[in-house]
Structure 1
Amino acid sequence: VFNAVQANSISSALNNAYGFDKLYVGLAIAGVTALVVFGGIRNIARVAEIVVPIMAILYLLLAIVVLVMNITAVPHVLSLIFKSAFGLEQAAGGVTGGVVAAMLNGVKRGLFSNEAGMGSAPNIAAVATPTPHHPVSQGFVQALGVFIDTLLICTATALMILLSGLLEPGSGLTGIELTQQALSTHIGAAGMHFVAIAILFFAFTSIIGNYSYAENALTYLGAGNKFGFTVLRCALLAMVVWGAVQQVATVFNAADASMGLMATINLVAIVLLSGTVAKLTQDYFSQKKAGQSPTFHAEDYPELRGQIDADIWKR
C-alpha cells in the first residue's frame, strides 16, 4: 500500500511538471521496478541511493534560501502552525473536536513520514553496524532519523507552502502539486521541475526499500520461495500502477489503514520488550559514565538467549 502512495507522488509530480499521463508513468515505474526485483538489475537502485542524499541536501538548502527570502514572515507562519496543530483557532471559534482532528491528522502524516513505532525501520537498522557496538546506539540513530525526516525536511516543506500563500482550503490543490506550485512561487518554474525530479528519486528508492522489507518478512515467515516471491513482486507492481492513477486521498486512506494495523501489532511487541529496552539503556549509559565505549554483552541477557544471532554481537 505504501508503494501506491509513492507511485502516486511520482505520477502526480511528473504530470504537473511535464503533462505526462499518470497511467503511462505508473507503467514506466512498474517496468523499472520489475527490472530491479525480477531482473536483479540493482545498479538502478544504487544510482538512486547515491542521488537521494544529494537531492535531500539540495532540498534543505533551497528551503533555507526561501526562508531567508521571507524571513520577516516566518514568525507569523510558525505561530500559525502552532495554533493550527493544537486546534486553538477552532476551539476559540467554538468548533468542537478541533484539537483532536488536527492532532490526529498530524499523527497520521507524521507516522507515514518517519514510520516511528510501525516496526519497519528496524529492517534497515538490522543490516547496519552500530558504533559504539551496542543496540542502544542504533536506537539513537533511528531517533535522529525521525528528527531529520519529520522535523527538518517536512517542516521545511510546510514553511515553503505556507509562505507561498497558496494553501487555501477547498482549492483542490493538494499533495505534491501543492509543493511544486509553492516552490515555483518562490523561485520560478525551476521549482516545479526540481520537486518532480527529487520526488522521482525519493519515491522510487522508497518503493525498492519497501519491497526489501516485504521480502525479508516473507522469508522469515517461511514463504521465501520462488512462488512466494513471484506473488509478492506481482502484487508490488500492481500496487504501483494502481497508486499512480488514484486520487491522493484514496491512496493515503489505504496507507492510514495499513499503518494503523502495523502500529497496533508493533506497539504490543514494544510494550512486551520494554523491560529489556530499559535494561539495555541503563547498561549503555552506565558504560558511558564509566568512560568506556558501550559494548553489548549477549551473555548478560539470558532472556534473549536463542532469540538473537550471537555472532553479530561478538566482541
Structure 2
Amino acid sequence: MDYINGLVDWANGLFWGYILIYGLLAVGIYFTLRLGFIQFAHFGEMWRCVTSSDKTDKDGISPFQALTVSLASRVGTGNIAGVAVALTLGGPGAIFWMWMVALVGMATAYAESTLAQLYKTHGPDGMYRGGPAAYISRGLNAPWLAAIFSVALILSFGLIFNAVQANSIAEATAAPVEAMLVQWGWVQPATGDEIGAFVVAKLVIGVSLAILAGIIIFGGIPQIARVAELVVPPMAALYLLAAIVALLMNIDRVPGILGGIVLNAFGLQETVGGVAGGVMAAAMNGIKRGLFSNEAGMGSAPNIAAVATPAPHHPSSQGFVQALGVFIDTLLVCTATAVMILLADVTPSEELMGVNLTQAALGDHFGNFGQIFVGVAIFFFAFTSIIGNYSYAENAVVHLGGGKGGIIALRLAAMAMVIWGASQAVATVFNFADASMGLMATINLIAIVLLSGTVTVVTRDYLAKRKVGEEPSFHISQYPDIAPGVNREIWS
C-alpha cells in the first residue's frame, strides 16, 4: 500500500507540479492567439448561443441544459472552500491569477467542446454521445488512447469525486442530523470519546444522498439535464446575490479591495493578516484554484457538450456555450466567494481556512443566517456536482461499449461511492482521483492541440457566416479533408 501511495504521490507531483500547471496555461494562450482572442472578441456570441433556443429533441438536450449540467459539475465545494484556501495560502493576489487562468481557459473550453460537437454520434439509445474519447478515437485514430481516457474519467469523475462531494455534505450537516436522530430516539447521545451517533448520522446522510441521486441518475442524462436546469441557475444566482449585498454593504472599501488584489498579485502590496503571500504563492495558488475550478482543458465538460442539440446547428455554438461556463464558474462564482471573504472582518490563518473561513466571513456579513446559508450552499453545490460528474462518466461507459448493463452498473457504483464517501475519510482516495484526472487532462490537451487545425477551420466557417448575416449551419461536405471521422449524417 505504501508503494501505491508513493506512486500516486509521484504521479500527482508530475501532473500538477509540472505538466498541467504549465500545459493548461500554454494551451489556453495558444488557442487564444490562434482563434483571434475569441473569448473577448465574441463574448456576446456566447450569450446568444445559450439563449437562442430552449428547445431540445429526442436526440439531445438544449444548449441551456448543457450549460447548467456543466456548471453543476464545475460549481462545487471548491468554489466555497477552495477559493478560501487560495486566499489563505496565496493572499488576495491569488484571485487575480485565478481570473487570468479563467480568461485564457475560455478559449481552451471553446476548442474542446467544439470538437466534442463535431465528432459526436448517436449512441445505442439514440441520444447524441461523444466527448474527448470520440475525437481522440476517430479524429486522431487512436482508440486505445481514448479507452485509457475513458477509464480515467470514470474513476475520477464517475466514482471518486462523487465520494468527495458526499463527504463535504456529510461533514457540513452531520452535527444537526446527529442532534435530530438523538431527539427522535434513534441513537443514543455520544459520551466521552464515543463517536457512534456521529457515524450513524453520516451513514444516514450518505444513504439519503444516494437515494436522491439514484432517483435522478436512473432517469438518464435527460433527467439530469432537467434537474440541473431547475436547480443550478437559482443556486448560483442566490450566491451571487449574497456577494452583491456584501459588496453594497461595504461599498466604500471595494476600490481598495480590488486595487489590493491587483497590487498583491505583482508584489506591490504586502499581504496582511497572517496569510502566506508573495508573488509566487499568489500566482501558483490562484492558477491551481482556477484550473481545478473551471476544468477548462480537463476533458470533462465536452462530454455533456456533445449531448446538446446546438442552436444554431454548428459545432462552434456549443463551444461558445461551454466557454461561457468557465466565465460563470470562475469570474462570477469564485470571485463572489473571494469578495465576501476580503470584505469581512476575518483574518485568514492556518486555523481559519477553507470552508470555515467562508462561513466566518458570511457570519460577519449576515450573522447566523450567513453561516446557515453556507451550509445550504455546500449541499446544493456538492449535490449537483454529483449528478453532473455522473453524466460525464455515463458517456465514457457508452464509448467503451458498456450498453445498458454497463450504465446500470455505473449508476449503482456511483450510489455506493456516495454512501462510502459520506461515512469515510477520503483524503487518500482523493489523491488517486487527482492522478487519474491528471492523466485524462494530459491526454486531452495533446489531442486538442493536434486537432487545432480542425478547430480553426470550423471556427472560421461560423464567424464568416455570422459576418455576412447568415445563420451558421455546418456542412461537413464543404470540408471533406479536415475530419474523416465525423458523422456525415449529423453534419450533412
Pairwise same-fold verdict (TM > 0.5): yes
Change in 2 beyond 3 A, CA 1:89/1:16: farther
The AA in structure 2 aligned to 1:279 is: V
CA distance in 1, matches of 2:389, 2:468: 40
2:368 corresponding residue in structure 1 = 189
TM-score between the two structures when normalised by the length of structure 2 = 0.55
CA distance in 2, matches of 1:49, 1:270: 29
2:401 corresponding residue in structure 1 = 222
Kindly indicate whether residue 420 of structure 2 is the aligned counterpart of residue 261 of structure 1.
no
Kindly indicate whether residue 457 of structure 2 is the aligned counterpart of residue 279 of structure 1.
yes
Query: Percent identity between the aligned chains?
Result: 62
Gaps of 5+ in 1: 92-96
CA distance in 1, matches of 2:261, 2:340: 12
TM-superposed deviation, 1:27: 3.0
- The 8 Å contact of residues 36 and 42 in structure 1, kept in 2 or not, is answered as no
2:410 corresponding residue in structure 1 = 232
CA distance in 2, matches of 1:36, 1:87: 48
Change in 2 beyond 3 A, CA 1:274/1:305: closer
- CA deviations on 1:2-30 (whole Å, 9 max, x unpaired) are 22332233223324776674443233212
TM-superposed deviation, 1:146: 0.8
- The 8 Å contact of residues 14 and 196 in structure 1, kept in 2 or not, is answered as yes
TM-superposed deviation, 1:52: 2.4
When the two structures are aligned, how many residues end up with a matched partner? 307
1:1-315 aligned at under 5 Å gives the runs 1-15=160-174, 21-38=201-218, 46-47=226-227, 49-85=229-265, 98-175=278-355, 177-226=356-405, 228-245=406-423, 253-303=431-481, 307-314=485-492
CA distance in 2, matches of 1:62, 1:300: 49
- The 8 Å contact of residues 13 and 180 in structure 1, kept in 2 or not, is answered as no
CA distance in 1, matches of 2:224, 2:464: 44
TM-superposed deviation, 1:131: 2.6
Gaps of 5+ in 2: 1-159, 180-200, 272-276
CA distance in 2, matches of 1:179, 1:46: 30
CA distance in 2, matches of 1:277, 1:40: 30
TM-superposed deviation, 1:40: 7.0
Bigger drift between 3-12 and 144-153 goes to: 3-12
CA distance in 2, matches of 1:162, 1:287: 45
Change in 2 beyond 3 A, CA 1:255/1:23: same
Aligned to 1:310, the other structure's residue is in SS state coil
TM-superposed deviation, 1:254: 4.8
The AA in structure 2 aligned to 1:283 is: D
Aligned to 1:313, the other structure's residue is in SS state coil
The AA in structure 1 aligned to 2:447 is: A
CA RMSD of aligned residues (A): 3.2
TM-score between the two structures when normalised by the length of structure 1 = 0.83
